[in-house]
Each structure stands twice: as C-alpha cells, then as structure tokens.
Amino acid sequence: MIDIQRRNGGKDFYVVKDVIKNGKRTKETVRKSSKEEYNSFHAAKNGLENMDLTAISCAFPECDMLRPIPREQKRLLKTVLPQRYKQFTDIYCSQKCRNAHEQDLKTVLKE
Ligand SMILES: [Zn+2]
C-alpha cells in the first residue's frame, strides 16, 4: 500500500510503499511529497478505515498527486466497467487538473 509520511519533525513529506526486503516487510521511499498532498491524502483516507485500500494517481500526466481508494472501487473502474461496457475512467485529483488535461487534449476530444 502507498502511504504518505511526515519526517524531520513534520517538515518533510514522502510517498512510501510497502516492500519485502530480506523477508521483512518495510517501507521504501518513492518520492518527495508536499504538505498539500499529505493533507489531502489523509483526509481522503479518513472514513475509509477497515477497507482494503490502494492508491491511484491523478490522470493528468504533469501531476503526481495520489489519493487512497478502496480496492473494490479501483477494480470497478479499471476492470469491471471496461469488461462490461468498454468504459475507461480516469481519476483526477482536482477540477484544475481535469481542466488542464482537457485543454491539452482538446484537439483530439472535439468531434
Ligand atoms: Zn492532479
């Protein structure tokens, strides 16, 4: 599972993931994060306790924002809906990213 941790007395933020090293479960740093991403990640995680969570990243290629999502919901979006309806769904972290991506894609999106 992906998580975002605070370090150095809460001044620095890092995305970490669970890995198995020498038979031991440990956290590996993926990249630096930000206070904004930390707060939004953990706010989204609240209310999802006791669920099997995974993470999904913003669909806008210029954005690294991660958000936790129940695995069942990710399975629905990424497997069940494509199988049933050939429907592919992207998740954006914000309306701002959705708009920016649609702007980048406007030449192919217009019919
Ligand atoms: Zn984003």
Which range in 16-20, 31-35, 48-52 is most confidently predicted, on average pLDDT? 31-35
Give the pLDDT confidence score for residue 77 in this predicted structure: 93
For ligand 1, the distance from its centroid to the CA atom of residue 10, given in whole angstroms, is: 23
pTM for this prediction:
0.68
Instruction: Give whole-number Cα distances, 104 to 16, 25, 34, 60, in Å.
Output: 30, 41, 25, 10
Give the pLDDT confidence score for residue 111 in this predicted structure: 58
Consecutive H or E run containing 64? none
The neighbourhood of ligand 1, an ion, using CB within 5 A, equals: 58, 60, 63, 65, 93, 97
